[in-house]
Structures are given as structure tokens and as C-alpha cells.
């Protein structure tokens, strides 16, 4: 699966594979518990909320089949935590409506009833940077700046 990881030896803090079922967002949040003593409450709040939103997007909208997996990785490098949520599924093309005024998803005519929510708006608001990479699947990533080093 694709990754946008910088080759400068990032430290992997979380490496998790989840099935595309309704329990996966909660399981992804629980996987962050070992980070509680390393980062402040605001950073952990952002991570939990945004990871949960992106895993939920994979579960609900990626059209994954039984046996497909959602891959959650959290990497630490150069004063930032980078979260990558990867899956082999479908994702519509996001399009900015107005700078910092939210995101709209372009949909084919047959997708007009797509039940999109506020997940990418939350990512846009809370993350310091983010993006989407599509090739054989979809990677949605975001970064949250942290003070100091990510090393233990």
C-alpha cells in the first residue's frame, strides 16, 4: 500500500491492521493509549478524534470487502506526529470550496446521495497539514506538530 512517509528514519509509534467493521474506530482509539504519557492532552485529543474519523470513513465509505484491512500507522519525525490511514478502497476526489471554509467531495452523478460527513472538515481544522494519496488504494494522512522530540 502507498505511504507518504519521509525516508528520514521515522519512529513508528503505532502499526495496526483492522477489519472494515464498526468496532474498528474504537480499536484504533484504544491503540493510542500507550502514547498517553508521551504527549499532552490536546495532542492526544486531536489524534483520537481524527484517527477515529478516518477509520470510520474507511469502514463506511471505502467499499471494502471481507478480508480487506485498514492500516493505521502513527510515525514520529522532525517534531511532528504523522498519521496514515490506508485502505484498498474507493475515495471520491475532495475539492476545496473556499480556503478554510470546509471541503466538498466531488461525486459522480450516481453518487449524489453519498452520505458524507464532517470528517475531512475536522482534519482540515485540527491537523497542521494533511492530504490524500490515491493509487492502488487510498491513503489519508495528517500531521500534528509536537514540541520537542518524539523519541522516548
What is the chain's mean pLDDT, rounded?
81
* pLDDT digit string, tens, across residues 29-68: 999 999 998 999 999 999 999 999 999 999 988 889 999 9
In angstroms, the CA 106 to CA 91 distance is 10
Strand partners, 87: 138
The model's pTM is: 0.79
Supply the DSSP symbol for 95.
E
Cα distances from 31 to residues 12, 55, 84, 108, in angstroms, run 13, 12, 14, 35
The domains found in the chain, sorted by start residue, are: 11-145 (3.30.565.10)
CA angle 98, 61, 31 (to 5 degrees): 95
**Which range among 18-27, 80-89, 91-100, 138-147 shows the weakest confidence by mean pLDDT?**
91-100
Q: How many CA atoms lie within 13 A of 8 on its CB side?
A: 6
Alpha-carbon Rg for the chain in angstroms: 15
Query: How far is Cα 46 from Cα 123, in angstroms, rounded to an integer?
Result: 9
Amino acid at each position: 500500500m502507498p505511504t507518504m512517509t519521509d525516508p528520514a528514519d521515522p519512529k513508528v509509534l503505532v502499526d495496526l491492521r483492522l477489519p472494515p467493521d464498526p468496532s474498528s474506530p474504537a480499536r484504533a482509539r484504544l491503540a493510542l493509549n500507550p502514547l498517553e504519557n508521551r504527549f499532552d492532552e490536546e495532542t492526544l485529543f486531536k489524534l483520537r478524534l481524527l484517527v477515529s474519523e478516518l477509520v470510520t470513513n474507511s469502514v463506511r465509505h471505502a467499499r471494502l470487502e471481507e478480508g480487506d484491512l485498514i492500516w493505521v500507522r502513527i510515525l514520529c519525525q522532525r517534531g511532528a506526529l504523522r498519521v496514515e490511514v490506508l485502505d484498498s478502497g474507493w475515495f471520491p476526489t475532495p475539492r476545496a470550496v473556499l480556503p478554510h471554509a470546509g471541503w466538498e467531495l466531488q461525486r459522480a452523478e450516481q453518487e449524489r446521495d453519498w452520505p458524507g460527513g464532517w470528517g475531512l472538515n475536522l482534519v482540515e481544522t485540527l491537523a497542521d497539514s494533511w492530504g490524500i494519496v490515491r493509487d492502488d488504494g487510498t491513503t489519508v494522512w495528517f500531521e500534528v506538530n509536537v514540541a520537542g522530540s518524539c523519541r522516548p
